[in-house]
Amino acid sequence: MNVGFMACIVLSVLFLIIGIFFSLSKEKGAKYVSGFNTLNHPEKYDKASISLDMRNQCFTHALILFLGAILSYFISDYIAIPIYIVWGILFFKSVHFDAEKAFEKYLIK
């Protein structure tokens, strides 16, 4: 049982499903982004761009983890460790504690 492969492929499929959800929901998907519902005036933000960026992030995460799964399957279980480090850096780089600051680039001018 290749643990590195299984860990990467499960998260890859999960992010792929979430990315497809944001792709299909278009503008309505913005309300499912963490912190969006806590904004003071959510109508001032471009919901389509928010959903599009979340879709792109999810597909990027899925691609990184899928490549990690493939490398882990063919090379070694231990390839999954640096893949998870790279994924973690990208994932936590997009985490913000202030919702207003997180969504300021989506303000409609």
37-81: pLDDT as tens digits: 888 888 888 999 999 999 999 999 999 999 999 999 999 989 999
Please report the pLDDT score of residue 96 as a whole number: 84
- C-alpha dihedral sign at 77, 81, 82, 84: positive
Domain count, the chain: 1
Dist CA 2 CA 68 (whole Å)? 12
For residue 89, pLDDT beyond 90: yes
For 15, the domain range is 3-106
Which pTM value belongs to this model?
A: 0.88
Please report the pLDDT score of residue 59 as a whole number: 97
